[in-house]
Amino acid sequence: MEPITMSAVTTMASAMGTGMASEAGRRLVNLLGGLVGLEERAPDSGTDWGPLVQVLCDQAREDPETALRLAHIMAMTRSTLTPPTASRTPRLPPGTPYFENHRAPLRRLAKEAGRRPGTHPRAALLHGPPGIGTTGLAVEFGRSEARRFPDGCLYVDLRSDPDASAALRQALVTLGVPEQRIAAVPARREAEFAELVAGRRMLVVLDHARSAAQVRPLLTASPSVFTVVVARRPLVGLDAASVEVEPLAPRNALRLLTRVAGKQAVDALGDGVDVELERCGGRPRAIRLVGAGLVTAPPDEEARTVTPDDPLHAAADRAYRALDPDVARLHRRCALWPWPALRSGPAAAAAQIGEDEAALALEELAGRGLLEGDPVAGYRHPPAVRRHAEEAAMREERVAGCLRAVERTVRWYVDLAVDAGTAALSQRWQIGATQAPAPGRYADPGAALAALGAELDGAVQAVLAAREYALGDTACVLVQGLWPIQLKDGRHEQMLPALRAGVEVAEDVCPNTRMAGRMYTFLASALIEMREYSAAEAAARSALAAEEHAGHLRGRATATETLGRLRLVQWRYEDADELFVAAGRILDGIGPGDEGAADLPRFRALLDRHRGRARTGQAMRGLRSWDDPEQLLLSALRFFRGESDGVAPETYNAARTLTDLAELYFFSGRREQAVLLTDDAIRALEGERAEYHVAHLRALRRSCVGGPDLPEPPTGG
């Protein structure tokens, strides 16, 4: 048994701080609260764990029972919250088949990559105007110099991640770290990233960088890692070797055009080829756009004589005018919002065509260089191409037409969220009319949740688009549909921009209503899980105020329950218990025929479970008997197992309640009973995508079967 030292407890606290996004991490932290006094509070996202570590060590030194419980929690933490590992060898995205060699910048990058490491990160800043080929050049460098980077090439696209914390999350996910194991605190993320890449011979490409602050946390001091930052212009304050990408020389530009369009099409231009290349300004993307157009149609005389200031705009315009009407319509309408990953569903909705037609149109646009990506990962407009297409939409569709196109796209995401959300969490209550999911569309709740997760980035953007285009309460309806992805998949950080937008829209179009209360409740729930306790408190109280103003008893009870959940994670167990009791009293006001009456048994079961957890914390502190929380948890378990007449079983909530009871039995000395419940919970969670919860149960079971004796006397170091 490992001695309880300051170092060992600090290691445990660090693992908990990193792993609190997972069910297992949250459970372990909540158990820790039972070891400390009434005055201690759970650390929030900005709190140093050092003082708490000292308190735990002091109390373990003074009380053998506390020492034993802490030893068990430390053992479970070591077993469950193992340090994140890079489970994937990252790869660069596919390069263009028409790369034309920029020899000078490639040589400069190779020189920097081979430079002897010093005290600063090894990094180069590759910069040049839009369409000049910086991204393609970085990818080609990684391909041609692959021997230097046997541990992989990590590509991070910063277009959708304006801050460093989000960029770190993207990098960690790409390395194979599960979402639930990514620390909420940016400093911890930075440390995780540095640890994962340390000693690995890797290339890191940070594309579409906007500022030095955005990329600096991703610059590792590991001498084996070489980082290429890609930007439009030099970034002030970035300590990296500057590598400017200049326009292609005329002979290289001609060679690229010939490779794209074919010699016959280029020869057909005659002397006009010089005009075409001059219009492209030596920018590879413009040349590829023009070349793709030459394959299908020669340029008209107007295109040969007009010389706009922006080569990319001119090339995009040429390519656009060569499109069939349906493809052109899809192209311009999908450019009305910066969708992160266009697929056939939302694209078909925007263009008012079938999904099969949309899939072919997207493929054609990618072939012409107007889109990047593929059908699986989704397509995306290059920034300059999107600007041209958006201008075309405003010109040809007018404001009203653009509004309708965006609304149809947003509606596609709403329909997905409502349908898949209901299939993933059929027991939820919601504002507005409910609808049953399409029969047979999802094999089980896990498949429905996976469908929501696959389109989550697009759905978040749809919420923001609904706010920007003033589509009434549509943003709120979509946020409500996405609730299962918060509750069951823990995607709180990704949801946060949508949640804030939902609150903003509710305050604008439906203040002090049930929908406003619901939006604040969703926001508060995410902030609780992200350990932003002060902000969560404000959101939960705003939810309560809105629900009280609307006279909505079920909403008032939910907002009160949310405040109770906040107190529970703060280790304020007595306050939490009182709030759960208060929520139950509010429910007493709902009569048999009133709205929400059908939800009462389930709501009361949830409150019983919450109260059982709060009273377990009190029992661990010696302030209550173990029988109190046991009876509450058993009552909740009977409901979630479907033992009441007319009640369908809820596998996920039953497993969570079984885990609560197993923890209670373990810490109250009833290990045999705890083993039986852990086994039941593990079986129940099969197929629920709950790996970390199962890992926690297995660690708890190991402690039950072969738990440690009392640890060695605590020491100071």
In SS3 terms, 245-272 reads as: CCCCCHHHHHHHHHHHHCHHHHHHHCCH
Q: How many Å apart are CA 598 and CA 264, to the nearest integer?
A: 73
Scan for tokens 């009380």, then name that residue: 63
Asked if residue 301 has pLDDT above 50, the reply is: no
Mean pLDDT value across residues 10-19: 87
Asked if residue 577 has pLDDT above 60, the reply is: yes
Q: φ, ψ for residue 572 (rounded to 5)?
A: -95, 70
Distances (CA, A) of 130 to 232, 444, 629: 6, 45, 63
Q: Which residues on neighbouring strands pair with residue 156, listed in sequence order? A: 206
Q: How many Å apart are CA 537 and CA 534, to the nearest integer?
A: 5
Strand, coil or helix: what is 486? helix
User: What would the pLDDT profile of 98-145 be if each residue is shown by its tens digit?
Assistant: 777 678 899 999 999 988 877 678 999 999 999 898 999 999 999 999
Distances (CA, A) of 474 to 317, 362, 432, 433, 696: 34, 27, 12, 13, 39
User: What would the pLDDT profile of 427-476 be if each residue is shown by its tens digit?
Assistant: 777 887 666 666 778 888 888 988 999 999 999 999 999 999 999 999 99
Contact (Cβ atoms closer than 8 angstroms) between residue 201 and residue 153 = no
Residue 654: name the closest of 628, 673, 682, 630 by CA: 682
Strand, coil or helix: what is 206? strand
Q: How many Å apart are CA 184 and CA 17, to the nearest integer?
A: 8
Distances (CA, A) of 716 to 7, 25, 59: 9, 26, 12
Q: Which residues on neighbouring strands pair with residue 202, listed in sequence order? A: 225
Asked if residue 709 has pLDDT above 80, the reply is: no
What is the chain's mean pLDDT, rounded?
89
Mean pLDDT value across residues 280-306: 71
Element (H, E) at 604: helix 600-620
Residues of the chain above pLDDT 90, percent: 63
Q: How far is CA 23 from the centre of its chain?
A: 16
Strand, coil or helix: what is 410? helix
What is the pLDDT, as a whole number, of residue 433?
61
Q: How many Å apart are CA 35 and CA 9, to the nearest integer?
A: 13
Buried-state track 308-322, b at ≥16 Cβ within 10 A, e below 16 = eebbbbbbbbbbbeb
What is the pLDDT, as a whole number, of residue 302?
44
Residue 259: name the closest of 290, 303, 298, 299 by CA: 290
Q: How many Å apart are CA 317 and CA 302, to the nearest integer?
A: 12
Scan for tokens 């001609």, then name that residue: 254
Amino acid occupying residue 601: P
Mean pLDDT value across residues 621-641: 96
Contact (Cβ atoms closer than 8 angstroms) between residue 95 and residue 136 = yes
Scan for tokens 């090439």, then name that residue: 153
What is the pLDDT, as a whole number, of residue 349?
97
Mean pLDDT value across residues 369-379: 91
Q: Is the pTM of this model over 0.85?
A: yes
Mean pLDDT value across residues 390-410: 95
Q: How many Å apart are CA 537 and CA 524, to the nearest integer?
A: 7
What is the pLDDT, as a whole number, of residue 207?
95
User: What would the pLDDT profile of 302-356 be if each residue is shown by its tens digit?
Assistant: 444 444 567 888 889 989 999 999 999 999 999 999 999 999 999 999 999 999 9
Q: How many Å apart are CA 212 and CA 237, to the nearest integer?
A: 6
Strand, coil or helix: what is 580? helix
Amino acid occupying residue 235: L
Distances (CA, A) of 259 to 61, 294, 461, 672: 75, 12, 37, 73
Amino acid occupying residue 3: P
Contact (Cβ atoms closer than 8 angstroms) between residue 419 and residue 438 = yes
Dmax over CA atoms of the chain, in Å, equals: 93
Residue 31: name the closest of 75, 1, 62 by CA: 75
Lowest mean pLDDT among 201-210, 304-313, 463-472, 688-697: 304-313
Max avg pLDDT among 162-171, 251-260, 444-453, 467-476: 467-476
End-to-end CA distance of the chain: 16
What is the pLDDT, as a whole number, of residue 713?
36
For CA atoms 328, 330, 335, 340, give the dihedral sign. Answer: negative
Structure tokens, 515: 């929908």
Mean pLDDT value across residues 575-595: 96
Asked if residue 717 has pLDDT above 60, the reply is: no
Q: How many Å apart are CA 391 and CA 368, to the nearest integer?
A: 19
Structure tokens, 475: 């943003």
Mean pLDDT value across residues 578-589: 97
The bridge status of strand 378-380 relative to strand 372-374 is antiparallel
Scan for tokens 């053998």, then name that residue: 64
Radius of gyration of the chain (CA): 29
CB atoms within 10 A of CB 700: 30
Asked if residue 36 has pLDDT above 80, the reply is: yes
Q: How many Å apart are CA 447 and CA 688, to the nearest integer?
A: 9
**Residue 2's pLDDT band (cuts 50, 70, 90):** low
Residue 41: name the closest of 668, 593, 572, 616 by CA: 572
Structure tokens, 543: 């939810």
Amino acid occupying residue 574: E
Scan for tokens 């005290």, then name that residue: 119
The bridge status of strand 225-231 relative to strand 378-380 is unpaired
Q: Which residues on neighbouring strands pair with residue 124, listed in sequence order? A: 228, 241
Amino acid occupying residue 296: T
**Residue 501's pLDDT band (cuts 50, 70, 90):** very high
What is the pLDDT, as a whole number, of residue 303?
45
User: What would the pLDDT profile of 648-668 be if each residue is shown by its tens digit?
Assistant: 898 889 999 999 999 999 999
Q: How many Å apart are CA 671 and CA 707, to the nearest integer?
A: 10
